[in-house]
Amino acid sequence: MNPSRMNAESFNLDHRTVAAPYVRVADRKELPHGDVITKYDVRFTQPNVAHLEMKAIHSLEHLFAECSRNHSQAVIDFSPMGCQTGYYLILQGEPDVEAVMALIEATLTDVLDASEVPAANEIQCGWGENHSLADAQDAARTFLAQRAQWQQVSA
């Protein structure tokens, strides 16, 4: 199969060749006034082999969105992938790879220490009952346990 080049970078990635978990630069954009944003593919599970359950994804999104900003003002967004295998972390600038890894590690460590999922209610969330702190912590724990592999994208 040799599909033509797609506009979305992730659609051009051969998902059969990657080895999750990993963190990789997925895109870099220079905006019209010179600002730069960098998008990271933070892959928790092996594509087409495993996925995270929705409650884990949703809760981890809330926890990471809240906790990561305690460690960096460069965080723009942390969004789940529709395939349920990871997230896109969007940061202002082009942080050094070790700084990005340290941000992810510190944030996921905070997730392990959390006693509740922030904003997990019908006032602050569009599906407030769809959360599981325990599942989010399990996903964070598993990802953190494989920290040594994060920079190796391919098998």
Instruction: Read off the pLDDT of residues 58-108 as tens digits, 9 standing for 90 and up.
Output: 999 999 999 999 999 999 999 999 999 999 999 999 999 999 999 999 999
- Burial per residue of 61-84, b for 16 or more beta-carbon CB atoms within 10 angstroms, e otherwise: bbbbbbbbeebbebbeebebbeeb
Give 68's DSSP letter: G
Beta bridge partners of 30: 36
pLDDT tens-digit readout, 123-155: 999 999 999 999 999 999 999 999 999 999 998
The answer to pTM > 0.75 is: yes
Count how many residues are written for the chain. Answer: 155
Question: Domains along the chain?
Answer: 14-149 (3.30.1360.80)
CA separation for the pair 111, 18 (Å, rounded): 26
